[in-house]
Amino acid sequence: MLKITNLVKRYGNGEPVLKDLDLMIEGESVVSIIGSSGAGKSTLLRCINRLVEPTSGSIELNGNELTKLKGRQLRAARRKIGMVFQGFNLVDRLTVMENVQSGRLGYISTWAAVTRSYPKEDIRRAFELMERVGIAHYANKRADELSGGERQRVGVVRALMQNPEILLADEPTASLDPKTSEQIMELLRNLAAELKLPVLINIHNVTEAKIYTDRIVGMRYGRIIFDDKPDALDKEAMDKIYSGNPQADRNQNMLETA
């Protein structure tokens, strides 16, 4: 279970990007986060895996308080948080298998990583996952020879190689064509069910969020203003998330800067 309480993130002396945010995710549910650019969606995901340091608040993953961890303990906790990136974050000159095995770097020795002496069990698991997502036949192909959808599947497998307790996806379909986007979203949904894994997806495509996720969280100005099933996301809710009430927004900004 992921439990976020009173989370605040502020850069310098500016307005907080996240403002006393509370969120709980349980089980193998697929949860999407929607909102305009600048709403704080990506910052939220990066606070969870500590790529960005929260200013204050609590982030617990299965009872482990992530915000208090440092050094070796933080590295160990990050192993349990899989991350799928918008830009894939692959090493182009390496093969698919080598990119996938980078998901095991937190578990193997430096020597094994440098010499690419991957444990047999890790290789077996990699082929199993690559077969599941349809890229096993690309195992020895360089990453830069793949299409966008294939590259994203490599990113998904790399994250799953960590044996994560939660999977975070930051705009995983933004660089893909519509058909491939739908395939990746369906893949994430199916993997969540098969692996009993909670998945939190930051996404701009509201239609895909409604089709492929179990729950939608709408953010505006660093706050959650909608949290419900996809069917509840009606025009009124969309207006609040994406356009809002101009006078209310001005009043809120005045209160926060007073």
Looking up residue 84, the CATH number of its domain turns out to be 3.40.50.300
Residue 238 located in a structural domain: no
111 confidence band (pLDDT: 50, 70, 90): confident
Give the total number of structural domains in the chain: 1
Q: Please state which of the ranges 28-37, 130-139, 184-193, 235-244 shows the lowest mean pLDDT.
A: 235-244
CB 191 within 8 A of CB 156: yes
117-132 mean pLDDT: 94
Q: If we measure between CA atoms, which residue out of 221, 217, 158, 167 comes closest to residue 192?
A: 167
Say how far apart CA 160 and CA 122 lie, in whole Å.
11
For residue 167, the enclosing domain spans: 2-233
CA 247 to the chain's CA centroid: 33
Radius of gyration of the chain (CA): 19
Give the residue carrying structure tokens 């606070």. Answer: 47
Q: How confident is the model over 150-194, as pLDDT tens digits?
A: 999 999 999 999 999 999 999 999 889 999 999 999 999 999 999
Alpha helices by DSSP H, the chain: 41-48, 71-79, 96-101, 110-114, 120-133, 148-160, 178-195, 206-212, 235-242, 246-257
Residue 136 located in a structural domain: yes
Residue 198 located in a structural domain: yes
Exposure class string for 87-115: b at 16+ Cβ within 10 A, else e:
ebebeeebbbbbbbbbbbbeeeeeebbee
Residue 246 located in a structural domain: no
Per-residue pLDDT at 235 = 93
pTM: 0.88
Q: Evaluate the CA torsion angle 6, 223, 19, 254 in order and state its sign.
A: negative
Question: How are strands ordered across the β-sheet holding 2-9?
Answer: 18-25, 2-9, 56-61, 64-65
Say how far apart CA 196 and CA 67 lie, in whole Å.
25
Q: How confident is the model over 57-86, as pLDDT tens digits?
A: 999 999 999 999 999 899 889 889 999 998
Sequence-distant (≥ 6) Cβ neighbours of residue 185 within 8 angstroms: 172, 173, 201, 208, 211, 212
Say how far apart CA 196 and CA 193 lie, in whole Å.
5
Q: Residue 139 in 3-state DSSP?
A: coil
CB 173 within 8 A of CB 208: yes
Residue 38 located in a structural domain: yes
Q: How large a percentage of the chain has pLDDT more than 70?
A: 94
Distances (CA, A) of 117 to 1, 19, 155, 158: 34, 45, 21, 17
pLDDT surpassing 60 at residue 257: no
Residue 250 located in a structural domain: no
The DSSP result for 88-115, as a single string, is ----TTSBHHHHHHGGGTTTS-HHHHHT
